[in-house]
Structure 1
Amino acid sequence: MKMKKFINEPENLTEELLEGLAMANGEYLQVEENHMVINRKLDEADRVTIVTMGGSGHEPCCSGFVGEGMVDIGVIGDIFAAPGPQICADALRRADKGKGVVYIVLNHAGDMLSGNMAMKMIRKDGIQVIKVVTQEDISSVPRSDAGNRRGLVGCVPVYKIAGAAAADGKNVEEVAEIAQKVADNMATLAVALRGATHPITGAELATLSEDEMEIGMGQHGEGGGGRTKVKTANETAEIMVDALIQDLQLQSSEKILLLINGSGATTLMEQLIVFRRCKQYLEEKGIEIVGSHVGELLTVQEQAGFQMCMVRMDDELLNYWNAPCKTPYFKM
């Protein structure tokens, strides 16, 4: 398939985008060998540190959230591909400042393979590392089988809240426990009108007809059996809100964080219209939005659609969500 993208040689995509990231955001981060994106102030850190990893092609995630108050090292793989386990192990060693490391991994096959192997590699080094897995895509399997759920944009509130807990001086067990609490109390559902193309091969990740959309698209076009005729913003919002409420078993008077994450080719206009109906509909059900974000956090190239993520909140999580942070693509 012929693509129209502003790129140079496809094989240099990851290298060049990370060089551009570092050039544009030198006050926050630096890029070292093997595609390690590192918090510029990491060497000053006298606290628990946060490491994550994932394929490129999903910008700003996860390289764009490296900086103060969120991620200390993001290890970046090639387009839609996990980085290798040796590089991840090296990042865990590089991140440790004597207080331990929380290692946040999205539940995808390649990421989990690299993540688990990296954990084995560093066992003999005496570094205290606790791995937290994000696995909140409700379209793939039921909550009772959450270990087989994909990780979507829910990684971002985990980064933010875990990073804030680390900055607050919590020890590694406490930071991991707080991160796990977020992971256990969130749910995400993705919808798409059009799939993306792989920026190197031009292969289509998903194909939908002009009158179709899919609720349950997953991250890379995996699909979840929710193909239907295109619906309005309000109708789509209500279907997705209902599904997320059911998964989380939310009750009237509960409080949530709500993210509307554009997948790459959905305008902010559309995202805000969806958010508008979500807020109205949730208020009708007695559920309060106490934190929110609308915009692109984790994209899939030019996929047209969005991911809706809900996190059940309490005072502790809300305090950490609202804590200051300074990263290229997320600031509080």
Structure 2
Amino acid sequence: MKMKKFINDPANLTTELLEGFALANQDLVRLEEDNTVVNKALDQADRVTIVTQGGSGHEPAISGFVGEGMIDISVVGDIFAAPGPQACVNAIKKAEKGKGVLYIVLNHAGDMLTGNLTMKQLKKEKDVRCVKVVTQEDIANAPRENADDRRGLVGCIPTYKIAGAAAAEGKSLEEVAEVAQRFADNMATLAVAVRGATHPATGSPLAELGEDEMEIGMGQHGEGGGGRQTMKSADETAEIMINGLINDLSIKEGEKVMLILNGTGATTLMELFIVYRKCEALLKEKGIEIVANHVGELLTVQEQAGFQMFMARMDDELLHYWNAPCNTPYMKK
């Protein structure tokens, strides 16, 4: 079946979407060389700054969260592809305002290669202090004891928020990195898909599922998660996924959590709210309190139908940072 998308030349996808994004949000961001989206207030920053990277095609992630209280520079790669390390080095040097830079990288092969090469090159820069934090919270493809093998999913977004708030309050680079790492170490995500996406530049399907199939554990780009099964109801799916997250994090009665349902592109808010309703009931039965939440699209995979369910263990400090002010195109508090 022919792909139907409102695009022009596929070779210009990333350039054109970033141009449009920057024009639509020119009060908050500017587009600079190397496909970098920059916080317009960066020049006045007297604090730790935050740089991240990732492929395009996942909008609003990641550039939709550039602005005060979250990301200072997003380095954007082509569709579903990591940017090159030199662009990241340049961005980190630009972001350094004398207080250091936190560099947040999602755990995918291309991003990790770029991240590691970037950190290696930065060792030659005498005037740049940078700490890297990796988000790796997909419980489907590796156990917690092998967390370095876990893929990064929507967990990067709340990590940006919490780290950005700590930076805005004047915390040191070491303190901001500690807060980000503590949050990252206490989060987990599980994704489900009922229909795969297509690559917008080629029209190739990222994953194919049968008419009555769903897959719990599918990765960001259609990678298998070993959970292919017959389609379940909203309540059944919610119970499978919420129990998986609770077990992975060893959440106990009396604890507080953040819960995010992230639609991946083609699943309606109607469906997400029905699933969220069941999640709330299941957690209440177990004596677990939701103190922070979000239901909507933060990180999409084109028209993939499904969602990512995210959970994180919360404490008073992390909740304070989550609720702190921010002003970005796709998150405002």
Same fold (TM over 0.5): yes
AA aligned opposite 1:314 = D
Could you tell me which residue of structure 2 aligns to residue 110 of structure 1? 110
Partner SS for 2:301: coil
Local SS of the residue matching 1:113:
helix
Q: Counterpart amino acid of 1:90? A: N
Counterparts of residues 92-241 of structure 1 (less than 5 Å): 92-126=92-126, 127-241=128-242
C-alpha distance in structure 1 between counterparts of 2:47 and 2:186, whole Å: 25
What corresponds to 1:78 in structure 2?
78
Tell me the distance in 2 between the aligned counterparts of 1:171 and 1:142.
32
**AA paired with 1:61?**
A
Query: Structure 1 counterpart of 2:69, which letter?
Result: G
CA distance in 1, matches of 2:273, 2:26: 31
Q: Distance in 1 between matches of 2:86 and 2:28?
A: 25
Deviation of 1:223 after TM superposition, in Å, equals 1.3
Q: Following TM superposition, by how much is the alpha carbon of 1:24 offset from its aligned partner in structure 2, in angstroms?
A: 0.5
Q: Distance in 2 between matches of 1:241 and 1:203?
A: 32
For residues 93 and 120 of structure 2, the distance between their equivalents in structure 1, rounded to whole angstroms, comes to 13
Q: Distance in 1 between matches of 2:255 and 2:41?
A: 37
Identity across matched positions, percent: 70
Q: TM-score, normalised by structure 1?
A: 0.99
- The unaligned stretches of length 5 or more in structure 1 are none
2:256 is matched with 255
1:117-153 superposed Cα distances (whole Å, 9 cap, x missing partner): 0111111212110000000000001000000000000
Which amino acid in the other structure matches residue 199 of structure 1?
P
Query: Which residue type is aligned with residue 189 of structure 1?
Result: L
Shift of 1:33: 0.9
Tell me the equivalent position of 2:44: 44
Give the equivalent residue in structure 2 for 1:54. Answer: 54
Write the distance in 1 (CA, Å) between the matches of 2:210 and 2:141.
Answer: 22
Task: Supply the distance in 1 between the matched residues of 2:157 and 2:34 (Cα, whole angstroms).
Answer: 23
Supply the AA of the counterpart residue of 1:70.
M
SS at match of 2:31: strand
Once the two structures are superposed, residues 238-291 of structure 1 have per-residue CA deviations (whole angstroms, 9 ceiling, x without a partner) of: 000000000000000100000000000000110111111100110000000000
User: In structure 2, what is the Cα distance between the partners aligned to 1:301 and 1:284?
Assistant: 35
Q: Counterpart of 2:18 in 1: which secondary structure?
A: helix
CA distance, structure 2, for counterparts of residue 181 and residue 233 of structure 1: 32
Amino acid at match of 2:200: P
> What secondary structure, in the 3-state scheme, does the structure 1 residue paired with 2:194 have?
strand
AA paired with 1:74? S
Deviations 1:45-87 (A, max 9, x none): 0000000000000000001000000000000000000000110
- Partners of 2:298 and 2:220 lie apart in 1 by 13
Is 1:67 matched with 2:67?
yes
TM-score (ref. length: structure 2): 0.99
| Counterpart AA for 2:321 | Y
SS of residue paired to 1:17: helix
Q: 2 CA distance for matches of 1:218 and 1:140?
A: 9
Give the aligned partner of residue 297 of structure 2.
Answer: 296
AA in 1 matched with 2:293 = S
Shift, 1:319, TM fit: 0.1
Secondary structure at 1:125 match in 2: coil
In 2, the alpha carbon distance for the partners of 1:51 and 1:87 equals 11
For 2:251, the aligned partner's letter is: L
Secondary structure of 2:207's aligned partner: coil
Structure-2 residue corresponding to 1:267: 268
AA of the residue aligned to 1:138: I
Distance 1:282 1:228 in 2: 24
The CA distance in 1 between the partners of 2:108 and 2:258, in whole Å, is 24
Q: Match for 1:147: what amino acid?
A: D
- Partners in 2 of 1:112 and 1:311 — Cα distance? 23
SS class of match (2:6): coil
For 2:146 and 2:62, how far apart are their aligned partners in 1? Answer: 26
Deviation at 1:27, TM superposition (A): 0.8
Q: 2:230 and 2:242 mapped to 1: Cα distance?
A: 18
CA distance in 1, matches of 2:29, 2:275: 33
What amino acid maps onto 1:99 in structure 2?
K
Q: What amino acid is the match of 1:25?
A: N
